[in-house]
Amino acid sequence: MRIELRAWKVGDLPILIEFANNERIAANMTDSFPHPYSKEAGLKFIEWATSSDPNHILCIKADGKVCGSIGLHAQQDVMCKNMELGYWIAEPYWGQGIATNAVTLMVQYGFKHWDINRIFAKPFAVNIGSLRVLEKVGFRKEGLFKAAVYKRGRYIDFLEYAIHRTEWEHRTIEPIP
């Protein structure tokens, strides 16, 4: 399967709404990812995703079809050499290695385009699929934060995974061709 990342376009709005309007995705994201996912939310998202140069949020395509989104978010102040990674894959495309490929491409893209030293992600501890994706790409588990997240009326743990520029440059995992 050929995985590419490209800028979001306004023309992607119908497929974005169709796939993003999914409670199983929203349950694993921060509350800034809305549910239900309205047309207005989709338009606002595409506007945000295309507001920077280089784009910091990209659309994931698998064999030419839009199937998810991935982003790197700048941090402020003393954390300015870090970016936070976030992503989701449309449910019909789960379990085909797409997130692993897309995260690999995005880490490559991030270290190429920004003067950053570290990329991190904060998956909920129950999100086994996402933990596995990060481990497969070469991220290291750096910490467990007990009951730090309040989601849907419950306290849950999150983990922090990270990869540093030097680790990425000296990785033994093969880059995606």
Ligand X SMILES: CC(C)(COP(=O)(O)OP(=O)(O)OC[C@H]1O[C@@H](n2cnc3c(N)ncnc32)[C@H](O)[C@@H]1OP(=O)(O)O)[C@@H](O)C(=O)NCCC(=O)NCCS
To the nearest whole angstrom, how small is the minimum distance from the Cβ of residue 168 to ligand X?
18
Whole-angstrom Cα distance, residue 32 to residue 34? 6
To the nearest whole angstrom, how small is the minimum distance from the Cβ of residue 132 to ligand X?
3
Residue 94 touches ligand X, criterion: CB under 6 A: yes
174's tokens: 């093969």
For residues 34 and 97, which CB has a smaller minimum distance to ligand X in the complex?
97
Whole-angstrom Cα distance, residue 76 to residue 69? 23
The binding track of 38-77 with respect to ligand X, each residue x by CB under 6 A or -, is ----------------------------------------
To the nearest whole angstrom, how small is the minimum distance from the Cβ of residue 25 to ligand X?
4
Q: Pick the binder of ligand X from 100, 108, 125, 176 (CB under 6 A).
A: 100
The binding track of 118-147 with respect to ligand X, each residue x by CB under 6 A or -, is ---x-x---xxxx-xx--x-----------
Instruction: Please tell me whether residue 60 adopts helix, strand or coil conformation.
Output: strand
Whole-angstrom Cα distance, residue 98 to residue 92? 11
For residues 140 and 166, which CB has a smaller minimum distance to ligand X in the complex?
140
Measured in degrees and rounded to the nearest 5, phi and psi for residue 111 equal -70, -25
Q: Which stretch binds ligand X (CB under 6 A): 22-30, 56-64, 106-114, 166-174?
A: 22-30
25's tokens: 């995705």
Whole-angstrom Cα distance, residue 3 to residue 85? 18
Q: Pick the binder of ligand X from 49, 57, 89, 107 (CB under 6 A).
A: 89
For residues 99 and 115, which CB has a smaller minimum distance to ligand X in the complex?
99
Look at strands 3-7 and 57-62 and give their pairing.
antiparallel
Whole-angstrom Cα distance, residue 25 to residue 19? 9
Instruction: Please tell me whether residue 12 adopts helix, strand or coil conformation.
Output: helix
Residues that bind ligand X (CB under 6 A): 25, 28-29, 87-89, 94-100, 121, 123, 127-130, 132-133, 136
